[in-house]
Chains A and B, each alone.
Chain A
Amino acid sequence: MATPFPFGPITAVTGTAVVVRGDDIDTDRIIPARFLKCVTFEALGPAAFADDRAELAQAPAGPHPFDRPEHQGASILLVNRNFGCGSSREHAPQALMRWGIRAVVGESFAEIFYGNCLALGIPCLTASHEGMLAIQAAAAADPAAAFTLDVAAQSLSGADQSWALDLAAGPRQMLSTGQWDATSQLLANGTALEATVARLPYLATFAA
């Protein structure tokens, strides 16, 4: 893997872009269920979009963008509407991350997928339908163009253009301060956690 996995504050992602077009691309397509049979995520990268890639390998429209030589090493994924819908499997963002993706831009994202990406330090930003088509067109026209996704400025620039994107304030702050690493945050509130335990009737045989 050329780029290390996300770590610490994430303020920007720079790299070439890969366009995967289509609405409602679900997690079964991002990582087919048979690859879930694994006890670590390590081997998932090459399996990203496995079935779509196999299907497109021989097709006139093919090969799949993930198989095109010019997109090897790409780190910004450009998608359309409701990306990542379906099964909650974190294997989907894991597969994308291990393939090399470090940020996703699309029209909209399925909620669990979005949360899973955030938890891995992969920003998912949104653009309008028209904006997205323009971004995809620009990226497709020049596969070698380097793009920079600026988390704080909520923008994507590259190929001599720049587009405004959206990222909710919460995730934006979490990414730029490194707070997306949830576990350490949650562990910091041990006392408040046990106070919650103490007030929940069902944990005290309803004695309260």
Chain B
Amino acid sequence: MSAGTLYDKVWALHQVAELPGGSTQLFIGLHLIHEVTSPQAFAALKDLGLGVRHPERTVATVDHIVPTTSQARPFADPLAEEMLATLEANCAAHNITLHGLGSGRQGIVHVIAPELGLTQPGMTVACGDSHTSTHGAFGAIAFGIGTSQVRDVLASQSLSMGKLKVRRIWVDGQLQPGVYAKDLVLHVIRTLGVKGGVGYAYEFAGPAIEGLSMEERMTLCNMAIEGGARCGYVNPDQVTFDYLQGRPYAPSGEAWERAVAWWSSLASGPDAVFDDEVRFDASAIAPTITWGITPGQGIGVDETVPTLEQTESDERPLAEEAYRYMDLQPGAPIAGTPVDVCFIGSCTNGRLSDLQAAAAVAKGRHVAPGIKAFVVPGSEQVAAAAEAEGLDQVFTAAGFEWREPGCSMCLAMNPDRLEGRQISASSSNRNFKGRQGSATGRTLLMSPAMVAAAAIAGKVTDVRQLLAA
């Protein structure tokens, strides 16, 4: 049993009651909703004759279905239009703040809540999207929930939950140039497996983690769920506080000092007890890329697609399925694999620093002939900040399309999608079969800088070579 960790402290504070089934009723401090997983929850609420208990603790935005070319209403897709209209009506009926298109604050839910200062240390954060783990970067306990749980949070501002174990992922050293938080988390998942974290919260700690910016920490925690850990978090520190200060929903004035004192008190102490610990050395990690159909099928860009002999016996059927689906040869180098589509964006890697890293690679170069490359900022704020720095110009000059904010080809619920057997270099978080909108489409996950390098070269390329050039 873990003790004295941030997870334990935050859990205890939010515990409302023990429920008859043995689970805990946990208060939810921040509930984020979007157009895809909330309408059914509101419909169920209505069926039950219930209202929203704490509408001031729920915040909405629209991200999954919005087109990234023209966001003029009504949308060309009537179903997408219906989903957005339903969200608007539900928010209006229940007094829920909606950061809609053109508000200056719209964007992917896991991008906007941090940048607005809504996400804060010590909160419990829930959202009907599995990448809610992102918010753990602030020292919050944040997890994805299903639609019936969205209904429960709306009705009761709480959830029935079982407590997780806590595994500390201790990372020494420092990421090398050209290696990013995305590579670190793909490396962790590759090592521990996509199921390695089931039943655990991951606490990311150690010198390498302390050295990460907030945006990098968000990338890391975002993909904890891909390693099976329902939430991942980083203890709040000065980096966290500096990021939050001055944000619209962050405490200010006198309350700021008290907030920082409380936040600081939440961090796992030196005596904290963990259920498990795993250690990594950041310095040894290369740019990492997936070759298969789960985020755990990752390798360094300088490695070869693992052969069956190099694969654990219980992973072999999945490896064989991946060879077939991806049409990649076991034992062949991953570098040099031709790509068709290059996507920079998503809640994993659609923030300003991600775009800066990609632009640094794209600057003064040009996308290879025949490649479709596009950049989707994670939010209206990210887009504005990037445009203020001229990143949009860098990208368009290099042959990338510069789009409007949204989830886009991360899950392809909007018009951005792969066609047929196309293979994408993608800065998103899932490479499952069919994830990017074509039932036979293929996805290689990598950092935004690596995606930019792939776009320039037309094939998988070690970004470090371009950065050195």
B269 at the interface (CB under 8 A from A): no
Please determine whether A38 and B79 come into contact, CB atoms closer than 8 angstroms.
yes
Please determine whether A193 and B16 come into contact, CB atoms closer than 8 angstroms.
yes
Per-residue contact bits, chain A 110-151, to B (CB 8 Å; 1 contact, 0 not): 111001100110000000000000000000000000000000
Please determine whether A185 and B19 come into contact, CB atoms closer than 8 angstroms.
yes
Please determine whether A26 and B83 come into contact, CB atoms closer than 8 angstroms.
no
Per-residue contact bits, chain B 405-433, to A (CB 8 Å; 1 contact, 0 not): 00000011100000000000000001011
Please determine whether A88 and B144 come into contact, CB atoms closer than 8 angstroms.
yes
Q: How far is the CA of A133 from the CA of B233 in the complex (A)?
A: 38
Q: A196-B14, A203-B29 are in contact. Are A183 and B155 (CB under 8 A)?
A: yes
B206 at the interface (CB under 8 A from A): no
Please determine whether A34 and B146 come into contact, CB atoms closer than 8 angstroms.
no
B381 at the interface (CB under 8 A from A): no
Closest to A116 in B: B146
Closest to B412 in A: A33
Q: How far is the CA of A116 from the CA of B37 in the complex (A)?
A: 13
Please determine whether B413 and A199 come into contact, CB atoms closer than 8 angstroms.
no
A40, A189, A206: the one contacting B40 at CB < 8 Å is A40
Please determine whether B43 and A171 come into contact, CB atoms closer than 8 angstroms.
no
Q: A23-B317, A51-B439, A193-B157 are in contact. Are A179 and B262 (CB under 8 A)?
A: no
B370 at the interface (CB under 8 A from A): no
Please determine whether B83 and A89 come into contact, CB atoms closer than 8 angstroms.
no
Please determine whether B160 and A182 come into contact, CB atoms closer than 8 angstroms.
yes
Closest to A27 in B: B432
B388 at the interface (CB under 8 A from A): no
Q: How far is the CA of A24 from the CA of B431 in the complex (A)?
A: 13
Closest to A205 in B: B255
Please determine whether A89 and B146 come into contact, CB atoms closer than 8 angstroms.
yes
Please determine whether A173 and B21 come into contact, CB atoms closer than 8 angstroms.
yes
Please determine whether A24 and B318 come into contact, CB atoms closer than 8 angstroms.
yes
Q: How far is the CA of A28 from the CA of B294 in the complex (A)?
A: 12
- Spot the interface stretch: A10-18, A67-75, A79-87: A79-87
Please determine whether A186 and B155 come into contact, CB atoms closer than 8 angstroms.
yes
A1 at the interface (CB under 8 A from B): no
Instruction: Specify which of B128, B162, B228, B439 lies most central, judged by the most chain A CB atoms within 10 Å of its CB.
Output: B439
- Spot the interface stretch: B170-178, B194-202, B338-346: B194-202
| Interchain nearest-CB distance for B21 vs A (Å) | 4
B151 at the interface (CB under 8 A from A): yes
Instruction: Specify which of A26, A37, A173, A187 lies most central, judged by the most chain B CB atoms within 10 Å of its CB.
Output: A37
Q: How far is the CA of A86 from the CA of B13 in the complex (A)?
A: 30
Please determine whether B27 and A170 come into contact, CB atoms closer than 8 angstroms.
no
Please determine whether B433 and A196 come into contact, CB atoms closer than 8 angstroms.
no
- Which residues of chain A have a CB within 8 Å of any CB of chain B? 22-24, 26, 28-29, 32-34, 36-41, 51, 54-55, 82, 85-91, 93-94, 108, 110-112, 115-116, 119-120, 169-171, 173-174, 177, 179-180, 182-183, 185-187, 189, 192-193, 195-197, 199-203, 205-207
